[in-house]
Structure 1
Amino acid sequence: MTTAADAVREAAQRIAVVSDTPRLDAELLMAHAMGVERNALLLGRLADAVPAGFEALVEARLAHTPVAYLTGTRAFWTIDLEVGPGALVPRADSETLIEAAVAHFVDRAPTSVLDLGTGPGTLLLAALDHWPQAQGLGVDRSPEALAFARRNAGRLGMGRRARFMLGDWAAALDARFDLVLTNPPYIGTDERLPQEVVGHEPAGALFAGADGLDAYRLLAPQLARLIAPGGVAVVEIGFTQAEPVSALLRAQGLSTRVAQDLGGRPRAIVAG
């Protein structure tokens, strides 16, 4: 009998041609095929028989389908989010925004949170999980992404604390928030991306004009009127964009500082 351990080892060798994390991918796909968490697989299920659906998952991964789309979930901060086609897959780098917000508020908590371009609810729901007394609003122009966000809020028990709205950034908003979070598209249209990203994730959540700054040009004039006294906006950036994005925000009268990700690269602008 071929065991799960054997199948994971062989799958990892095959997946290595399309992924920088082939062993992790294979383990996540096996756990999903078994209907268990990855830890349960590693701690006691590697000797099991290979489930029937595993090979189809491996073939889909070899066709560059993101692992998160195949398993239907992605961990972010302290929560697990449902994701799939039409929603941007949450990245660990974006946790930098939550870390920067935590550092800003220190021993106090925001009571109102706004997430512009919320996708599947990533930043908003992570913030609400960290600050259980807060309430928030997520805005996105994609009905598909908002459907994921609403399901995630309900599954996480935040249905009464999180609202979602179809909209074009903050154009329709007339309110101030203690914490404004946003991970806008910031990839230049001529930049090359891995096939699993450009071939599957929504282009509208990735690309922002020739220089990748179009979304920031729209957001910068809106942010100052959205931040409540003592509040802050935290804006994700590409690691080469710290200076141009900071300049756009400073031109609107906002002070700025740069927050770095775990790799030591500029990843967010904290503005207030």
Structure 2
Amino acid sequence: MEVRPVRATEVVRSAAAALAAAGIDSARVEAEMICAHVLGVPRSALVGADAVDHDRAAEIDRLVAARARDRTPVQYLLGYAVSGRLDLAVGPGVFIPRPETELLVADVLAGLPGPGVGAAPLVVDLCAGSGTLALEIAHARPDAEVHAVELHDAALEWLRRNAGLRAAAGDTPVTVHAADATDPGLLPALRGRVTAVVSNPPYIPETDDLPPDVARHEPATALFGGTDGLAVIHPLVAVAARLLAPGGRVAVEHDDTTGAEVAAVVSGHGGFGTVERHTDLAGRPRFVTATRRHDAGADAPAGEKGNQR
């Protein structure tokens, strides 16, 4: 007996119901993401999409079942995550980009000198993970020289893959470094020359209270920053101060419960001027920025080393 194709809207409705039954809050959105991916159309085109044949319906069912069964992040299932204006390859072993980080990118870009104004910007992304910060900046500012630092092998594979894909797409190549972002001797050739240091480091205070999507699948080395969430941020700020040129700027993302503490770490270093605290679109503390003082000393204690994204 011939299996008749079903309408795309019916497939979306069925997928959303299955995801909702599994307790997934964003069931409709994720159902649309999965269906659009399999059908090769934008989410906005699903209403008018052609009927779904048996093979594609089976693939949608497989992805929905995997998402519902063990809460594998939908980005891992699809193989990519949206990062600003880019789609970045992601999968097991790397932190999934979050929309909140786009605000840090926008702030950093706004603070860079304009194209053709003085020397080209030199930007370093510490704890780069999939490359969100470095690659978005390189995409927006093709005149910039951008470096990305990552320690962990699995994340490095995704970072190198994304850097290669973006370079093939025409973006200015990003230089990838397999290194510890908390190493006081990091990137000696760049010391005192960098325009902006950016970082989305591991910053969650250690906890068992995380959504299963995150706790079961995303790497702990990309999530946790010690008991207070600051284990990586302390030494990273000192590294940033060494790399930055006078007047250069640091921008560090943090947990929404540690904004005051992170601001205090940056302020207490001594190499920076006034620290600015920034919120995300929901009004939650999200990242801090500060400018390297012109009269600051060259070095400061780097503190303990920690894990990286």
TM-score, normalised by the number of residues in structure 2: 0.82
Shift of residue 6, structure 1, vs aligned partner:
1.0
Shift of residue 170, structure 1, vs aligned partner:
4.6
Which secondary structure state, in structure 1, belongs to the residue aligned with residue 269 of structure 2?
coil
Structure 2 CA distance for aligned equivalents of residues 20 and 228 of structure 1: 45
Counterpart among 48, 53, 58 of residue 52 in structure 2: 48
Which secondary structure state, in structure 1, belongs to the residue aligned with residue 225 of structure 2?
coil
State yes or no: 1:269 paired with 2:276: no
Shift of residue 43, structure 1, vs aligned partner:
5.2
Residue 92 of structure 1 corresponds to which residue in structure 2?
99
State yes or no: 1:72 paired with 2:79: yes
Residue 17 of structure 2 corresponds to which residue in structure 1?
13
Residue 57 of structure 1 corresponds to which residue in structure 2?
63
Matched letter for residue 133 of structure 2: L
Structure 1 CA distance for aligned equivalents of residues 153 and 123 of structure 2: 20
Structure 1 CA distance for aligned equivalents of residues 50 and 255 of structure 2: 39
Residue 162 of structure 1 corresponds to which residue in structure 2?
174
Counterpart among 175, 183, 188 of residue 200 in structure 2: 183
Can you give the 5+ residue segments of structure 2 that lack an aligned partner in the other structure?
A: 292-309
Deviation per CA, 1:235-262, whole angstroms, max 9, x where unpaired? 0011121111111111112131012111
Residue 212 of structure 2 corresponds to which residue in structure 1?
195
Matched letter for residue 72 of structure 2: T
The alignment covers a number of residue pairs equal to 271
Which secondary structure state, in structure 1, belongs to the residue aligned with residue 123 of structure 2?
strand
Q: Is the 8 A contact 2:166 2:173 kept in 1?
A: no
Structure 2 CA distance for aligned equivalents of residues 258 and 160 of structure 1: 30
Shift of residue 47, structure 1, vs aligned partner:
3.5
Structure 2 CA distance for aligned equivalents of residues 140 and 58 of structure 1: 32
Deviation per CA, 1:2-33, whole angstroms, max 9, x where unpaired? 32211211211221233221111001111222
Shift of residue 77, structure 1, vs aligned partner:
1.2
- Alignment identity in percent? 38
Q: Is the 8 A contact 1:153 1:159 kept in 2?
A: no
Residue 33 of structure 1 corresponds to which residue in structure 2?
38
Which secondary structure state, in structure 2, belongs to the residue aligned with residue 153 of structure 1?
helix
Which secondary structure state, in structure 2, belongs to the residue aligned with residue 81 of structure 1?
strand
Q: Is the 8 A contact 1:4 1:49 kept in 2?
A: no
Matched letter for residue 267 of structure 2: R
TM-score, normalised by the number of residues in structure 1: 0.93
Can you give the 5+ residue segments of structure 1 that lack an aligned partner in the other structure?
A: none
Residue 220 of structure 1 corresponds to which residue in structure 2?
237
Shift of residue 34, structure 1, vs aligned partner:
2.1
Distance 1:43 1:7, change over 3 A: closer
Q: Which has the larger radius of gyration?
A: 2
Deviation per CA, 1:27-57, whole angstroms, max 9, x where unpaired? 11112222333344x2531643351211110
Distance 1:260 1:103, change over 3 A: farther
Structure 2 CA distance for aligned equivalents of residues 111 and 170 of structure 1: 22
State yes or no: 1:140 paired with 2:150: yes
State yes or no: 1:210 paired with 2:227: yes
Let me know the Cα RMSD of the aligned residues: 1.9
State yes or no: 1:152 paired with 2:162: yes
Residue 122 of structure 1 corresponds to which residue in structure 2?
132
Q: Is the 8 A contact 2:206 2:227 kept in 1?
A: yes
Deviation per CA, 1:109-158, whole angstroms, max 9, x where unpaired? 76211111111111100011111111211111112212211221221226
Matched letter for residue 32 of structure 1: H
Q: Is the 8 A contact 2:81 2:97 kept in 1?
A: yes
Counterpart among 260, 271, 288 of residue 243 in structure 1: 260
Which secondary structure state, in structure 2, belongs to the residue aligned with residue 251 of structure 1?
helix
